[in-house]
Structure 1
Amino acid sequence: MAIRGASIEFREVRKTYGDFVALESFSMDVAPGEFMTLLGPSGSGKTTALNSLAGFVDINQGDILIDGVSIARMPTEKRNIGMVFQNYSLFPHRNVLANVAFPLEMRGVAKSEILNRSMKALEMVRLDGLAKRMPHELSGGQKQRVAFARAVVFEPRVLLMDEPLGALDLKLREALQIEIKQYQREIGCTVIYVTHDQGEALALSDRLAVMEKGAIRQLGTPEDLYDRPNSRFVAEFIGSNNILKIRGQTEEGVLVEGLGVVRIPAMSGHAGGFVALRPEHIRRSSGENWPVTVRQAVFFGDAVRYVVEAKDGTTFSFVESRQPGTEISAPGASIGIAFDEDNITLLPA
């Protein structure tokens, strides 16, 4: 099964529900075959953007195009878009094969071709041996694989996925993340994926858009957004971060709460702003350049997460990989920390 993905364009899309603005000037281009994730908190507009592309909601202004053709006023059934939902939406009275075959039946495909294409879709998700089982006989992961097979069996060029792994436990979710990316590469369709789980977004996406209040706050590769957040909102939403206030600027660098003078170039517009320093970029040091007091130590098996307090009372965290025989510092212990100043990100006020 090989599908050529379609390009997608959102052009200044606006969607309101009464006085509530769900999307405001929403613009985004998605390349053919790209895996794009919409990431944001509840109410940020990510599902509204997905549903407007699917045709489940009508937009108030703007346009949406697939391969350069406007679909904003096109009926849902004419858009030829695959959908995978969190709740699977399988027909309980149909077996696995019949569930996967349903989209082909609705499109009037010949019976012989329906069987062939449905079995190929099940082979792709490694469920061809369960074709005769009923949905209630399947595990959560198997149900999600059936839902994926059903969504791609009619070879849509665009596949929309709305928090498809949200109902699964952590280990199964992580396993299916790898499989979803593998399936998408095999079939080549364009995917728009909605989630509020930033770890999931980082693992799956070619690019991701962080949304807040109906607008995109930053769009880029996972590496771009993780390493170079453009705002405090993005820095706090993507991964763990220490957000520390800039107290002023000196000839030597920037005066940061908890850290003192940090030798990073002072930038106009950042006075009164913030810096971001990720916990994994801080390490224990035998020197006393930045002495701190341990306030909390949380054991995670392969690592220990420390909450420490600087001389000025500022608290922040860092993560230390645990080696055999490594002693965990108890609350109240005095230790030194260090970090590479290149890993500090300046954020606007």
Structure 2
Amino acid sequence: MSSTGATIDFRSVRKTYGKFVALESFSMHVKRGEFMTLLGASGSGKTTALNALAGFTEIDSGEILIDGVPITRLPTEKRDIGMVFQSYSLFPHRNVIRNISFPLEMRGVPRAEARRRSEKALQMVRLDALANRMPHELSGGQKQRVAFARAVVFEPRVLLMDEPLGALDLKLRETLQLEIKDYQRQIGCTVIYVTHDQGEALTLSDRLAVMDKGQVLQIGPPEELYDKPQSRFVAEFVGANNILKVEGAEPGSVMLEGLGRVSGHVAHLIAASFASIRPELIQIRREASGAHRATLAEAVFFGNSVRYVLRAADGKEISAIEPRRPGQDVLPLGTPISFDLDVADLVALKG
């Protein structure tokens, strides 16, 4: 397949439903061929932005452009956009190959050419042996692969995906995440992907945008949002995190909830309201040699690691992840332990 991606621009887009503001001054640039994920809770505006781009939702103000061309008033069928939904939306009376060929038929592609292109799309998703199956004869994963092939068979410049894996079990979701990324590389189209699943967003995205109340709070590569969240909301939403209130600061040291007074290179924390640190950066000591004392309040065994919840002297609970070696015991609840951390790993957050 030979699709090439397009740039996408949202410029100060606003959309309301009565008194509810779904999008407010929503602006975002998506690069050509980029896999961009919109991540946020229900009601954050993710799907509204997707539907506005697709032409399913009329915006109140602002502008949407594809390759620099305004498409805000362009009919949906003329926007050259493919879309994959969570519900698959396959035609129950059409077999697999005819489901895939439907967009080509609607565009007047000759039957023989439509068949050839549909077979090629089916080969890409490795379902060519199921061309004559009916949708009710397919598994959930197979249905989603057919939906993907149908969305890209006409070689759109832009592909929109609205929580396409949400109805699948965990193991199948993980498999299809890797396949979707591989398909996108083969096709070269620009993808905007909507999800509330943090792991999915971190796995798939070239960049991701965290949304809340119709606006983008932070946008960047997954590792940037994970390592350097700019606000408490992003720190809490992207992966597990410990949020510690900054209770006092002076040159060379800060007072942190759960840690007490911390000294060293703390200049970046002086003006912060909160600091965050990832659980995997907390170093548990199985003896009282660490800088901070705590009591073990919870332990969750994951096989290759154990997630501990440590209750500090002031009552603050701090999560820590300890890699596990074969034969290593899980610590019993109530065990007095200690822990260390590197002050440089503390990230300053806005409120």
TM-score, with structure 2 as normaliser: 0.97
Query: Which residue matches 2:228?
Result: 228
**Partner-residue secondary structure (3-state), 1:105:** helix
Structure 1 position 313, deviation (Å): 1.6
Hey, what's the Cα distance between the residues in 2 that align with 1:7 and 1:191?
10
Contact 1:242-1:277 at 8 Å conserved across structures: yes
**Partner-residue secondary structure (3-state), 1:305:** strand
Structure 1 position 267, deviation (Å): 4.5
Query: Which residue matches 1:302?
Result: 304
Contact 2:266-2:343 at 8 Å conserved across structures: no
Alignment of 1:128-167 (within 5 A): 128-167=128-167
**Partner-residue secondary structure (3-state), 2:246:** strand
| Deviates most, 166-175 or 12-21 | 12-21
Match for 2:98: what amino acid? A
Contact 2:250-2:270 at 8 Å conserved across structures: no
Structure 1 position 268, deviation (Å): 7.7
Query: Which residue matches 1:340?
Result: 342
| Deviates most, 60-69 or 308-317 | 308-317
| Deviates most, 222-231 or 251-260 | 251-260
**Partner-residue secondary structure (3-state), 1:194:** strand
Structure 1 position 329, deviation (Å): 1.1
- Output one character per residue of 1:29-82: Cα deviation in whole Å (capped at 9) or x when no partner: 111100000000000000000000000010110000001111000000111100
Hey, what's the Cα distance between the residues in 2 that align with 1:174 and 1:42?
22
Match for 1:270: what amino acid? A
1:32 matched to 2:32? The reply is: yes
Match for 1:167: what amino acid? A
**Partner-residue secondary structure (3-state), 2:149:** helix
Query: Which residue matches 2:203?
Result: 203
Contact 1:270-1:347 at 8 Å conserved across structures: no
**Partner-residue secondary structure (3-state), 1:33:** coil
Query: Which residue matches 1:274?
Result: 274
**Partner-residue secondary structure (3-state), 1:120:** helix
With over 3 angstroms needed to count, the CA separation of the structure-2 counterparts of 1:268 and 1:165, relative to structure 1, is closer
List runs of 5+ in structure 1 lacking aligned partners: none
- Output one character per residue of 1:108-160: Cα deviation in whole Å (capped at 9) or x when no partner: 00111011000000000000110000000000000000000000000000000
Alignment of 1:47-196 (within 5 A): 47-196=47-196
Query: Which residue matches 1:319?
Result: 321
Contact 1:269-1:348 at 8 Å conserved across structures: no
Match for 1:111: what amino acid? R
Figure out how many residues of one structure are paired with residues of the other and give that number: 348
Hey, what's the Cα distance between the residues in 2 that align with 1:255 and 1:101?
64
Hey, what's the Cα distance between the residues in 2 that align with 1:23 and 1:70?
18
Contact 1:254-1:264 at 8 Å conserved across structures: no
Identity %: 66
- Output one character per residue of 1:180-227: Cα deviation in whole Å (capped at 9) or x when no partner: 000000000000000000110000000000000000000000011000
List runs of 5+ in structure 2 lacking aligned partners: none
Query: Which residue matches 1:265?
Result: 266
Structure 1 position 252, deviation (Å): 2.8
Alignment of 1:242-257 (within 5 A): 242-257=242-257
Match for 2:320: what amino acid? F
Hey, what's the Cα distance between the residues in 2 that align with 1:334 and 1:265?
28
**Partner-residue secondary structure (3-state), 2:115:** helix
Pairing partner for 1:291 from 290, 293, 303: 293
Hey, what's the Cα distance between the residues in 1 that align with 2:269 and 2:338?
31
Structure 1 position 316, deviation (Å): 1.2
**Partner-residue secondary structure (3-state), 1:326:** coil
**Partner-residue secondary structure (3-state), 1:307:** strand
TM-score, with structure 1 as normaliser: 0.98
Structure 1 position 19, deviation (Å): 1.1
Hey, what's the Cα distance between the residues in 2 that align with 1:51 and 1:236?
27
Match for 2:183: what amino acid? Y
Match for 1:309: what amino acid? R
- Output one character per residue of 1:234-287: Cα deviation in whole Å (capped at 9) or x when no partner: 00000000101111013332110111222332348735x111011111111242
| Deviates most, 224-233 or 244-253 | 244-253
Contact 1:270-1:348 at 8 Å conserved across structures: no
Match for 1:114: what amino acid? A
| Deviates most, 321-330 or 204-213 | 321-330
| Deviates most, 49-58 or 241-250 | 241-250
| Deviates most, 332-341 or 49-58 | 332-341
